[in-house]
Amino acid sequence: MKKRRAKYGNRTLVRNDQSFRSELEAHTARQLTDNGIPWTYESVEHELLPASRSKVKVYAPKGHVMCPSFPSIRKTVYIPDFMDPDGRWAIEVKGFKTDVFQLKWKMFLAQLSATKEPPVLFLPSTKKEVNETVRIIAQLISESEKVVHLIPST
């Protein structure tokens, strides 16, 4: 059986029994783990647009005839690649940004902007940017732990 390449040329990789969609995702997981940062992979689904039935009559070809229908609209979801288990940060590793991704990303940002405490988002595209992302996350974690320790117990 011939191995198929992914849509954009990525290779699926397996590291420590975890399957990743690209080498850059596998690198991100390794960096987070090596720095002692807990993470989850593609674990949280954000519904950007709920499923529904169109109220607009649409004429579309069915065979050689244009037929009317009220088509179903599938829900649109966005799943960040990596998330903090406590929801404080998310990483979307993206080597190639398609038009579909850019639209979903905008919808995701708009949805998060309406929340009380949105996570910090990272969008690295290279290994160097992933390394910098992990450094910043480690710093944020360190600073938040210092704040917790400064609060006097009652």
- List the structure tokens of 30: 């390794």
% of the chain at pLDDT higher than 70: 83
- Note the pLDDT tens digit of each residue in 47-66: 999 999 999 999 999 888 99
What does 112-128 look like in DSSP terms, one character per residue? HHTSSSPPEEE---SHH
pTM for the complete prediction? Answer: 0.79
**The CATH number of domain 13-44+79-143, selected from 3.40.50, 3.40.960, 1.10.10, 2.40.160:** 3.40.960
- Note the pLDDT tens digit of each residue in 87-139: 999 999 998 889 999 999 999 999 999 989 899 999 999 999 999 999 999 99
Residues 6+ apart with CB under 8 A from 38: 32, 84, 85
Distance from C-alpha of 21 to C-alpha of 42, rounded to nearest angstrom: 11
Delimit the domains of the chain by residue range.
13-44+79-143
Query: Over 50: is that where the pLDDT of 42 sits?
Result: yes
